[in-house]
Amino acid sequence: MELPNLETQPNKRRRKKSSVWEHFTVEKTDEPGCIRACCNRCKKSFAYMKGSKQSGTSHLNRHITLGICLRNQQTRCSKTGAEPRKTQPRPKPYIASMSFDQEHCNDKIAKMIILHDYPLHMVEHKGFIDFARALQPQFNPLSLNTVQGDCVAIYLREKQNLLNLIAGIPGRVNLTLDLWTSNQSSGYVFLRGHFIDGDWNLHHPILNVFEVPFPDLDGSLNQTIVTCLKNWHLKDRLFSILFHKPFFNETLMGNMNDLLSLKNPAILNGELLRQNCYARMLNGLALDALRSMQETITKVRQSVQYVKSSKSIEERFLQFKQQLGVPSKMDLLIDDKNKWDTVYHMLVAASELKEVFTCFEAFDPDYRISITMDDWKQVENLCACLKFLYDAAQFLTIQPYPTANLFFLEMAQLEVKLTEASQDPFCCSLIISLQEQFDWYWNKSCFILAIAVAMDPRYKMKLVESTFAQIFGENAESIKMVENSLDELFLEYSIIQVLPFTETNFDIGNDIMMRTDAFQEVSFDGSFFSAEDGLPDIDFCISELTTNQQIKSELMEYLEEPLEPSVQEFDVLGWWRINGYKYPTLCRMASDILSMPVSTLSADSIFDTEIRKMDNYRSSLDSLTLEALICTKDWFHCESKPIDVSHELVKMEH
């Protein structure tokens, strides 16, 4: 086989020989059909051809351009005193020129501050300026006022987008009120909206953050609601309000009903305007239970803190645990007093190791905390009680702001568990007090939650009937109340459908849901019509409905249809989106009911033992900037995390 040389290219098909052969020589090896390329400088051998397979010259070119061979040559030359041969420098990677946009950069900095709660004045810090200029020398440092204006501008832009979204929804909006405190004599009211849009997506944005005097709220809470309704054009589109009752006295709540009834139809005679927060109710029960055993809990906490105080003590504790043969695999945890779920987890882990703690004093003379076996028995009873509350609250952290149909079964199960636990002689003293408090909440909320679960085509009234039979026995009054409320609510929506309306149908994917601004004035007694409105008489509308070929109404037809299969993942909003043509009026009603919230707290506050507090820095900001930072961050967060409305409901054992 004839070998290629520097003048003859080995691959005859190439029209132009590679410049790499100026630095390499091909040589034949002892292996038949194998040819290698040898570097003329460092004499290193590289694969080139074996049989009909050719390795190409890319790896040979890299050997030269990366400068590896040059370093070897320089080393040899330094030993012989010869002058190294100059080679071309390694080519730098090509970077396309890009113009610097200061305005775009400012917008990104403002968004970064909003998303991560950075202080506005960070843009004036030397470290930030040096960092930004290292990335882009043309960067022009910002002032506090500039970045503050940029944040507000982003807020106003996003607010307009949200206003457009709310203006186009076919149904109504639910509100929740949450209250924060501060180190000053001010509180902060967070108003969050809950609604379903035309594509049947669930939304829950913070609409406003208002500063109010605290603790003397006076009529400030009422005014915040009125202002919110005005700002977001919701004066006749409010469906329900959820708040934490201890923040309101009877006078404030009465004033609220008067104010709201002026511009909003009193759905179910105002029942949906008086609710209580599910999460805060559970927190209150948990705190009452913890306070009843405060002294014993303190001993357990001190014991855990002692074991966790050093690595050596913890090792001795684990060694003693092994000697006693205690099978627990749980790790001891130091609790956070501001989160009652951490107290619960601490007690559970410690009670699993009660034998170790009881005898640890003999193994470690410095441990002198006395917890008797009777104390541990009380701790176990407390943990059993807290587990009911923890499981109920945990539901809100797994799926923040779930649709309202999911709560009836959750609360019914808690009612049954507390009732059964109260029969236990070891738990009754602790449970009975909690049960009485929960019963008050259950009696106030169960019929509203039952209406919501009736909108779930997997359960309808069947689940309500079986659950009420288990809780209330043969008394059918509760079931009748839910049925009457459903009939009344459906009638109200039917009247709205047949009356003249000022805005045309909204396209929601099935063209069946309508919104109306026809009712501008309603009286507090729940009547829909004022004498001066000139609207048709309500009796005439009802007569029209009952005689208009609707012998069997949509509601009756829906309730009598077979139940949907109770599959693991069921999208109730998707079901109503698909079945809107079949049940146009009921579909509009379901949209408002299913978006009705049960808790005022965000997922990260579900287990809080105290009212959240606004920090001193944010309290120092003006009201517009504060609202801009909080609301815009919430809107960005909601955009990045879509709501999953599907959830498996565990059937109650009967």
Task: Provide the residue count of the chain.
Answer: 654
- Sorted by sequence, the CB contacts under 8 Å of residue 128 that are 6+ apart come out as 122
Helix, strand, coil percentages (3-state) for the chain, rounded to 5, are 55, 10, 40
Q: Are the beta carbons of 387 and 431 closer than 8 angstroms? A: no
Contact 353, 335 (CB under 8 A): no
Asked whether residue 220 is assigned to any structural domain, the reply reads: yes
pLDDT digits (tens, 9 = 90+) for 173-190: 999 999 999 988 889 999
C-beta of residue 535 within 8 angstroms of C-beta of residue 529:
yes
Q: Which amino acid is at 162?
A: L
DSSP 85: P
Structure tokens at 449: 């939650």
Same domain for 169 and 250?
yes
User: What are 58's two structure tokens?
Assistant: 């890319």
Q: Are strands 53-54 and 173-182 parallel, antiparallel or unpaired?
A: unpaired
Q: Which of 397, 419, 444 is the last residue of a domain?
A: 397
Query: CA-to-CA distance for 537 and 21, rounded, in angstroms?
Result: 100
Instruction: Report whether pLDDT(139) > 80.
Output: yes
Q: Quickly state the pLDDT bin for 398 (edges 50, 70, 90).
A: confident
Residue 512: pLDDT band by 50, 70, 90 thresholds? very low
Q: For the chain, what is the largest distance between any 2 Cα atoms, rounded to a whole number of angstroms?
A: 114
The owner of tokens 């019509």 is: 529
CA distances from 28 to 3, 4, 41, 48 (A): 8, 10, 18, 10
Q: For residue 98, give the DSSP letter.
A: -
Do residue 474 and residue 441 come from a single domain? Answer: yes
Q: Are residues 370 and 409 in the same domain?
A: no
Structure tokens at 399: 């799926």
Is 225 found in the same domain as 207?
A: yes
More confident residue, 540 or 193: 193
In a domain, 289, yes or no: yes
Same domain? 362 vs 284: yes
- Which residues are bridge partners to 51 per DSSP? none
Percent share of the chain, pLDDT over 70: 75
Q: Is the pLDDT of residue 9 over 60?
A: no
Q: Look up residue 592 and give its DSSP letter.
A: H
> 215 versus 242: which is more confidently predicted?
242
Using CB atoms within 10 Å of the CB of residue 560, give its burial: 0 to 12 exposed, 13 to 18 middle, 19+ buried: exposed
The whole-number average pLDDT for the span 303-328 is 90
Q: Is 43 left (phi over 0), alpha (psi -120 to 50) or beta?
A: left
| pLDDT greater at residue 251 or residue 82 | 251
pLDDT of res. 210:
94
How many structural domains comprise the chain? 4
Listed residue (536, 577, 555, 324) closest to 460, CA to CA? 555
Strands (E), 85-143: none
Whose CA is closest to 303, among 368, 254, 239, 256? 368
Name the pairing type of β-strands 238-242 and 173-182. parallel
pLDDT of residue 515: 32
CA of residue 487 relative to chain centroid, distance = 34
Average pLDDT over residues 465-494: 82
Q: Give 242's strand partners.
A: 176
Kindly report the CA angle at 278 between 275 and 284, in degrees rounded to 5? 110
CA–CA gap between residue 427 and residue 380 (Å, rounded): 10
Residue 649 burial (CB count, 10 A): 18
390 and 443 together in one domain: no
Instruction: Decide if 598 contacts 449 (C-beta within 8 A).
Output: yes
What is the amino acid identity at position 114?
I
Instruction: Please tell me the predicted confidence (pLDDT) of residue 19.
Output: 76
Domain boundary among 369, 397, 425: 397
Q: Which of 413, 295, 336, 351 shows the shortest CA–CA distance to 607?
A: 336
Is the residue at 80 inside a domain?
no
Residue 424 has pLDDT above 70, yes or no: yes
575 pLDDT higher than 70: yes
pLDDT bucket at 277, cuts 50 / 70 / 90: confident
Assess whether 215 and 354 both reside in one domain. Answer: no
Neighbours of 315 (CB within 10 A): 11
453 assigned to some structural domain? yes
Q: 252 pairs with which residues across the strands?
A: none
* Residue 190 placed within a domain: yes
Query: Does any domain span residue 218?
Result: yes
- Asked if the model's pLDDT at residue 578 lies above 80, the reply is yes
Instruction: Sort 480 into a burial class: Cβ within 10 Å, 0-12 / 13-18 / 19+.
Output: exposed
Q: Which token pair is 33?
A: 């059909």
Task: Identify the three-state secondary structure at position 544.
Answer: helix
Residue 67 in any domain: the answer is no
Alpha-carbon distance 461 to 555, whole Å?
Answer: 11
Residues 249 and 324 in one domain: no
Same-domain check for residues 474 and 587: yes
What tokens were used for 409? 């079964």
Looking at residue 76, what is its pLDDT? 46
Q: Confirm whether 103 is domain-assigned.
A: no
Q: What pLDDT score does 252 carry?
A: 65
Tokens standing for 633?
């961050």
pLDDT of 147-183, one tens digit each? 999 999 999 999 999 999 999 998 899 999 999 999 8
Q: Are strands 206-213 and 238-242 parallel, antiparallel or unpaired?
A: unpaired
User: Are residue 287 and residue 346 in the same domain, yes or no?
Assistant: yes
* Cα first-last separation, the chain: 91
Distance CA(126)–CA(128), nearest Å, equals 5
Query: What are the C-alpha distances in Å from 85 to residues 76, 117, 556?
Result: 11, 58, 96
pLDDT of 327 strictly over 70: yes
Burial of 122 (0-12, 13-18, 19+ CB in 10 A): middle
**How far apart (Å, rounded) are the C-alpha atoms in residues 591 and 587?**
6
Are the CB atoms for 645 and 202 separated by under 8 Å? yes
286 shares a domain with 266: no
580 and 436, same structural domain? yes
**What mean pLDDT, rounded, does the chain reach?**
79
Per-residue model confidence (pLDDT) at position 395: 86
Provide the pLDDT confidence category of residue 4 given band limits of 50, 70 and 90: very low
Which tokens in the block code for residue 504?
Answer: 């045309």
pTM: 0.74
Residue numbers of the domain that contains 331: 278-397
Which ranges of 308-427 would DSSP assign to H, the alpha helix? 311-324, 340-352, 354-363, 373-398, 407-421
Residue 26 near residue 4 (C-beta atoms within 8 A): yes
Note the Cα 543 to chain centre separation in Å.
Answer: 46
Cβ count near 95 (within 10 Å): 6
Distance (Å, whole) CA 596 – CA 598:
7
